[in-house]
Structure 1
Amino acid sequence: MERFLLKKLLAWKTSPYRKPLIVKGVRQVGKTWILKEFGRLYYDNVAYFNFDENEEYKQFFDTTKNVNRILQNLSMASSQTISPKKTLIIFDEVQDCPNVINSMKYFCENAPEYHIACAGSLLGIALAKPSSFPVGKVNFMQVDPMTFEEFLIANGDSNLSEYIQTIDTIEPIPDAFFNPLYEKLKMYYVTGGMPEPVRIWTEARDVNVMQETLSNIIEAYERDFAKHPNVNEFPKISMIWNSIPSQLAKENKKFLYKVVKTGARAREYEDALQWLIDARLVHKIYRSTSPGLPISAYDDLSAFKIYLVDVGLLRRLAKLAPTAFGEGNRLFTEFKGALTENFVLQTLMTQFEVTPRYWSQANPPYEVDFLIQRDNDIFPIEVKSESNTTSKSLKKFKELFPDKVKLRIRYSLDNLKLDDDVLNIPLFMAGQTDHLIELALKEKSV
């Protein structure tokens, strides 16, 4: 497998402003693998410490804040060599180790010559707790599910991945590339981007084992729900989680608590929902009232959508069988195109610093699926699950905010093209959105 995040890790290693690194991401997204692979490629050796497997290692951080003594104890207890600059030190499963996390402050201040990376499941939950935390003394990095381009490489289609990444003009994609990319995207909808299902599919082509692996990941997440400090929240988290396919199957995908349970109220379930957000198992997308800057200033906090961390997990949670792969466009259009919206949102989350929003009005009803903030511009996005599309909501959005729309973006199964100020991006090129916007803006300015 190849993960593009290795380039960011290398930039961290060589930065003169490097601090201890905290790597976040959901369970089984590949945090440990990518850190070990990074260490193998770019360091003389890796010193790996798992605080779940070896709980006794926690004591070294309880008794002292002297980082040299901590490292000496760890080295002797594990028989691993630790050298400044030459060793990548990995602290894994640190989510229940506040003293380990807090020690990053002292590594940053007193031993910057050591290269340290921390990882752990549910780290977002741990970091949300009001415990001692080394503010300003660490770097953060997010590990997300594999992108479509990474999936292509794992699937033996490096030529297609390279082609997507080298496009430098807005012009139609030749059929020799368009058709196989369209088919491979359906395959990605089936497997998703979690590394283990991708590995099983690309190596063995075994649908049943791949399905079982996705189910096991979902079950592992559901077991984690019980780790909420308030046991009363556990059933609420489960109900929200299981309602997500139903929420996204609605024509209007706005999250409704009554879909979770009849008569449910926000105040009863908002803590449970926040747990899922902090765990990064779901993404929360607020409705925006206007395309102003900063985009967060125009959030309607009472209206939002919820998407899953990965399109393959959403397909499995929704019990949509992989056989839909062979039924034309069904994977793209099934339950109101929810898989497609979820896929697009996944790709946007990894490309832009600011979390996307959406825009809608009730009377008459119009909705723009996403708004993205790129530098100091806001771009409206419409997601279509089919080809031959019309974009009434994009048109209405421009009528209402003519001075704030440099470019409108539509994802669909149509080919790549720039029609006046509407940039149509084939769904399989969603991961190149930032680059394509740049190309389109240059073309419009000529």
Structure 2
Amino acid sequence: MLRRNIMNQLVSWADSRERKPLLLYGARQTGKTFLLNELAAKTFPGDSVRFDLERDARARQAFEYDLNPEALIRRLSQVAGYRINPERTLLILDEVQSSNRALASLKYFCEDTPQLHVAAAGSLLGVAANQQGFSMPVGKVQTMTLHPMSFDEFLDAMGDGGIIPEIRDCYERAEAFYLHDAMLERFWQYVIVGGMPEAVARFAEDGNYAAARDVQSTIIDLYVADMAKYATPTETARIRDTWNSIPAQLAKENHKFQYKLVKSGGRASMYSSSIAWLLAAGLVERCARVTSGQLPLAMHEDASAFKIYMSDTGLLSARAELGSSTVLDADYRKQLDLGGIVENYVAQALAANNVALRYWTSGNLAEVDFVMQPHDSTSAMPIEVKSSDNTRSRSLATYRSKYEPTTSMRLSTKNFGVDNGIRSVPLYAAFCIGK
């Protein structure tokens, strides 16, 4: 069984007396259904009901009448052949975006039957919510987002979960980790396998990279097929073109998203809605440019400049046709351009910890990969990312000279420590940032 960090939040939701219906966001195949089923087994043993509203027409029809919770519970009990008890039962509405009425019903469950545990999830929930006519129960639900598995979750799946607290301790103390080389090897495995649960599970069985890549290819095909949903044929073509351009966007020396790389003559007016679709579907992460390192960072965002990362680095590796034999061999690895892929990995780790993604530039003279605003900090923290142990950089020096941050961080293949006032953090410990 794959351990997911978000499970603690789900259990806390179930135990809370102040809870509202839960709306679980996340891209397809990130494990939403599995998690809700696990929550049911763990917290509501023998007393849960799940409806897949994409496949179950009878369940959808139950929402086409009065949305009074008492009547709804009676109809859903008939469909399930099981009595739903508002005091004890967990009601799971999967693929809830397939029924606007089911989504709207969450408001009434919140107001009229707060004792009933209702958990709804959907792969294209964010996309559907942006469509005209969809009724989002604003203020009446609690939302969570399930991301692909982070590196610490990957470690746990590989049987190395006991090491995680030690990595966190070294991160806090800035002290060298004695299993550094072994963790770097695991890190490069993760770059290939990524965090899609099925790919991780297949790889954990016997270390078969080809099996994991087969899973990734299937998921990518599903994503491409989904792009025809909630979009016109013209919009679908543009969404796919935008999606297909991401590896090339990250292969450039400057990772700023350029519409002309999507298609010659491309402009924001043509493709901005495509990016919005990919973001809403949870397939990508957006990193905004800031023009200043002064707080608050949100006030310095430049809406016209941003970077786009894939939500899962393993899928990016698959789309880039990055082979395990070259990545895992230290000599071959030196010949590869892994900067964009490693930067994508850090973006994925930060996003999983709910860190707002931002980067800083000073014209064409300097660029810092990420800048974050730590909680209760008096200054922003610049984060530089290197795919090797070559850590020379003028950009970080320029930023530090200009803004004098309390803390500066560099992620690379070097061990934990402090180098010329800069915190050195190994790439495998990115999951510690922002926790």
TM over 0.5: yes
How big is the shift at 1:291?
2.1
Q: Quick check: 1:369 aligned with 2:372?
A: no
Query: Given residue 13 of structure 1, which amino acid in structure 2 is its aligned partner?
Result: A
Choose which of 212, 215, 223 in structure 2 pairs with 1:213: 215
Q: Quick check: 1:145 aligned with 2:148?
A: yes
How big is the shift at 1:330?
5.5
Query: Given residue 434 of structure 2, which amino acid in structure 1 is its aligned partner?
Result: D
Partner-residue secondary structure (3-state), 2:106: helix
Query: Counterpart of 2:265?
Result: 263
Q: 2:157·2:200 contact (CA, 8 Å) conserved in 1?
A: yes
Cα distance per residue 1:196-219 (max 9 Å; x no partner): 000001013322221111000000
- For the residues of structure 2 that align with 1:330 and 1:86, how far apart are their CA atoms? 57
Query: Counterpart of 2:321?
Result: 319
Q: 1:331·1:339 contact (CA, 8 Å) conserved in 2?
A: no
- For the residues of structure 1 that align with 2:107 and 2:316, how far apart are their CA atoms? 38
Identify if the C-alpha distance between structure 1 residues 97 and 171 changes in structure 2 by more than 3 Å, giving closer, same or farther: same
Query: Given residue 194 of structure 1, which amino acid in structure 2 is its aligned partner?
Result: M
Identify if the C-alpha distance between structure 1 residues 430 and 330 changes in structure 2 by more than 3 Å, giving closer, same or farther: farther
- For the residues of structure 1 that align with 2:96 and 2:408, how far apart are their CA atoms? 43
Mapping of residues 138-217 of structure 1, within 5 Å? 138-167=141-170, 169-175=172-178, 177-217=179-219
Partner-residue secondary structure (3-state), 1:125: helix
Partner-residue secondary structure (3-state), 1:62: coil
Identity %: 37
Q: Quick check: 1:7 aligned with 2:4?
A: no
How big is the shift at 1:332?
8.5
Query: Counterpart of 1:136?
Result: 139
Relative to the length of structure 1, the TM-score reads 0.92
Partner-residue secondary structure (3-state), 1:390: coil
How big is the shift at 1:160?
2.2
Choose which of 93, 101, 104 in structure 1 pairs with 2:103: 101
Structure 2: state its 5+ residue gaps.
none
Cα distance per residue 1:313-371 (max 9 Å; x no partner): 00001111122233217668843511110110111112235x221111234x2110011
Query: Given residue 298 of structure 2, which amino acid in structure 1 is its aligned partner?
Result: S
Partner-residue secondary structure (3-state), 1:280: coil
Query: Counterpart of 1:86?
Result: 88
- For the residues of structure 2 that align with 1:287 and 1:432, how far apart are their CA atoms? 23
- For the residues of structure 1 that align with 2:135 and 2:396, how far apart are their CA atoms? 46
Q: 1:150·1:161 contact (CA, 8 Å) conserved in 2?
A: no
Q: 1:332·1:340 contact (CA, 8 Å) conserved in 2?
A: no
Mapping of residues 39-54 of structure 1, within 5 Å? 39-44=40-45, 45-54=47-56
Query: Given residue 84 of structure 2, which amino acid in structure 1 is its aligned partner?
Result: I
Query: Counterpart of 1:35?
Result: 36
Query: Counterpart of 1:407?
Result: 407
- For the residues of structure 2 that align with 1:360 and 1:333, how far apart are their CA atoms? 27
Structure 1: state its 5+ residue gaps.
436-446
- For the residues of structure 2 that align with 1:38 and 1:333, how far apart are their CA atoms? 45
Query: Counterpart of 1:440?
Result: none
How big is the shift at 1:173?
2.7
- For the residues of structure 1 that align with 2:88 and 2:190, how far apart are their CA atoms? 38
Q: 2:191·2:314 contact (CA, 8 Å) conserved in 1?
A: yes
Query: Counterpart of 1:442?
Result: none
Query: Counterpart of 1:56?
Result: 58
Query: Given residue 320 of structure 2, which amino acid in structure 1 is its aligned partner?
Result: A
Q: 1:286·1:300 contact (CA, 8 Å) conserved in 2?
A: yes
Identify if the C-alpha distance between structure 1 residues 140 and 179 changes in structure 2 by more than 3 Å, giving closer, same or farther: same
Query: Given residue 10 of structure 2, which amino acid in structure 1 is its aligned partner?
Result: L
Cα distance per residue 1:11-34 (max 9 Å; x no partner): 111223200000000000000001
- For the residues of structure 1 that align with 2:333 and 2:65, how far apart are their CA atoms? 55
Cα distance per residue 1:399-436 (max 9 Å; x no partner): 2223xx1111110111111345411111111101235x
**Where in structure 1 do 4 or more consecutive aligned residues deviate above 6 Å?**
none
Cα distance per residue 1:226-268 (max 9 Å; x no partner): 1133221111111111111110001111111111111111111
Q: 1:371·1:379 contact (CA, 8 Å) conserved in 2?
A: yes
- For the residues of structure 2 that align with 1:332 and 1:106, how far apart are their CA atoms? 58
Query: Counterpart of 2:361?
Result: 360
Q: 2:149·2:196 contact (CA, 8 Å) conserved in 1?
A: yes
Cα distance per residue 1:98-130 (max 9 Å; x no partner): 111111010000001100100111111112234
Query: Counterpart of 1:439?
Result: none
How big is the shift at 1:168?
6.8
Larger helix percent = 1
- For the residues of structure 2 that align with 1:190 and 1:326, how far apart are their CA atoms? 9
- For the residues of structure 2 that align with 1:228 and 1:63, how far apart are their CA atoms? 24
Q: May I ask how many residue pairs the two structures share in their alignment?
A: 430
- For the residues of structure 1 that align with 2:343 and 2:146, how far apart are their CA atoms? 21
Choose which of 233, 236, 241 in structure 1 pairs with 2:235: 233
Q: 1:379·1:409 contact (CA, 8 Å) conserved in 2?
A: yes
How big is the shift at 1:380?
0.9
Q: Quick check: 1:112 aligned with 2:114?
A: yes
Q: CA RMSD in A?
A: 1.8
Q: 1:22·1:138 contact (CA, 8 Å) conserved in 2?
A: yes
Q: 2:152·2:164 contact (CA, 8 Å) conserved in 1?
A: yes
Q: 1:245·1:317 contact (CA, 8 Å) conserved in 2?
A: yes
Relative to the length of structure 2, the TM-score reads 0.95
Partner-residue secondary structure (3-state), 1:252: coil
